[in-house]
Structure 1
Amino acid sequence: MAQGQIRKALSGYYYVYQDGGLIQCRGRGVFRNRGESPLVGDIVDYTKEGESDGYVMKIYPRKNELVRPPIANIDQAILVFSVKEPAFNTILLDRFLVVLESFSVQPILCLTKMDLLTDEENEQLKPYIDDYQKIGYTVLTTYKDDASLVQRLSPILENKVSVLAGQSGVGKSTLLNTLIPALDLKTDAISQSLGRGKHTTRHVELIEVCGGLLADTPGFSSFEFETIEKEELTACFPEFLRLSEGCKFRGCLHTKEPKCAVKEALETGEIRPYRYEHYEQILQEIMDRKPRY
């Protein structure tokens, strides 16, 4: 029995990394019987059958897992957002952030296409960048042919399991081209190598980049907050969470309750109005959700 990490899942096989190579494994029937399924990112015990085949025998406890795409034990997500074409969208960004916070995945914001902004648009964007940095998020800005990007991203990616997320058209493929020049891939070839090809079986794969592991996340664009309860939403807004200890009532939802520290901070400008509006919108969605039985 040996221990390794699943780096790729494809057509019922799990490719376990150990000692610089991949072992093609099947999952044991016991997982199916328990309704469990090994995921990319899992640390597992496996047995070898021959040189490069084997069976996954045990899955170690996960620190987190995403359903779409199916991947486990993620440290951080690089959220790629363009500032123009398509325009920067704070509600979409906050929805991404809430989902990541709920899964205990650290978000890193990467704002692309900065070179397309006029001076005036640049000035309008700056307060938003300041806001997210004050909340505690790392914000990287990048532009066309940005030679410094790899240098800036390398220490962030090193020794971490990262996922790449963002809408189409925001510059994810350009970012991947910059990070993995050895592949020298065209956009659609990158898509295929990372499981996003139009005519390939979609799969999730962790690839080695900058001393860490990176997965593209083709399915990570759905924002149902189905796993978040209304009382848990505060924890997905870090600046709300810090202040909520000052609320009079435990479990305060920061809407109609008296002596709410979050609403007081909204009035003093410590919390930005658009963040509070997005909190209210998402809270309403959670409260309107049909009960699950």
Structure 2
Amino acid sequence: MMIPLVPVPEKGVGHSFDARVSNVRSRANWMRLRLLKMIVDAGQGHPGGDLSATDIIATLYFDILRFDAARPDAPERDRFVMSKGHCTGALYSALAGAGYFPEVELDSYLQPESRLNGHPNRTYLPGVETNTGPLGHGLPVAVGIAIAAQIDKTDYRVFVLTGDGELQEGSMWEAAMLAGHRGLGQLTVIVDRNRLQQGARTEDTNALEPLADKWLAFGWDVVETDGHNHAGLLQVFDAACLPRSKPLCIIANTQKGHGVSFMEDQASWHHGVPNAAQYAQAIAELEAEMTA
């Protein structure tokens, strides 16, 4: 099955807000189709978390982040750290769509000698800022990157996407405490708040609520939004790009498996591969959404 790549207009500048929303929505829909194909072809993956994070990642890569895919190490680029590093289907589809490598390379996902590992590796793949996968690592690294920006007095921004189950790692709160202490205004954390982790709900495993109050207590600004509403995400990220004196936590309320009815809000789809009938149903539902 061929999934044509949607042409990408110039990001943000010079486009109406409605055009920006439409662009991000079309890119997110394409990413969902593409990542499911990758998972089915590979016979493994993490579709639930990929699908909950897709709209957030699409908004960042196709409107908000400043980067040049032809110069992936350009010093003035914004940095994005995928702390929930197992959700590579969403990340790799965004990187390919943004021009970091040819789309056809997505067909090698998780294959022997492929650059598209189960966890992102910056040694092999352009656009990956740091290796992640073991949970609890991405935010500490992002805090270090933001401290470097603060010391060097540069204006690049640092965005990090974390899972909510990942916030049960103590290293995340050590990093949050330091970021608040340092007043890292260039740092934005997005929590993919789908309320599910591998095997169970976060609140049954190790409750996170009151989550916003925790970030506030560590010296952060906090905003909550619908993590699947492209207009709302754009508004929140536009505000996040304004000068700040504190780091910002965006709690993005999402749904695991979003867009595929039988995966939605199901812990069993943290990882797994749709069978032929399920895949056909998923594609039909996603294609219907694209034409709605």
Tell me which of the two structures has the higher relative contact order, counting C-alpha pairs closer than 8 angstroms and 6 or more residues apart. Answer: 2
Higher Rg of the two aligned structures: 1
- Answer whether TM exceeds 0.5 for this pair: no
Which structure is higher in helix share? 2
Q: Please tell me the TM-score bracket, short chain as reference.
A: 0.3 to 0.5
**TM-score computed with the length of structure 2 as normaliser:** 0.33
Which structure is higher in strand share? 1
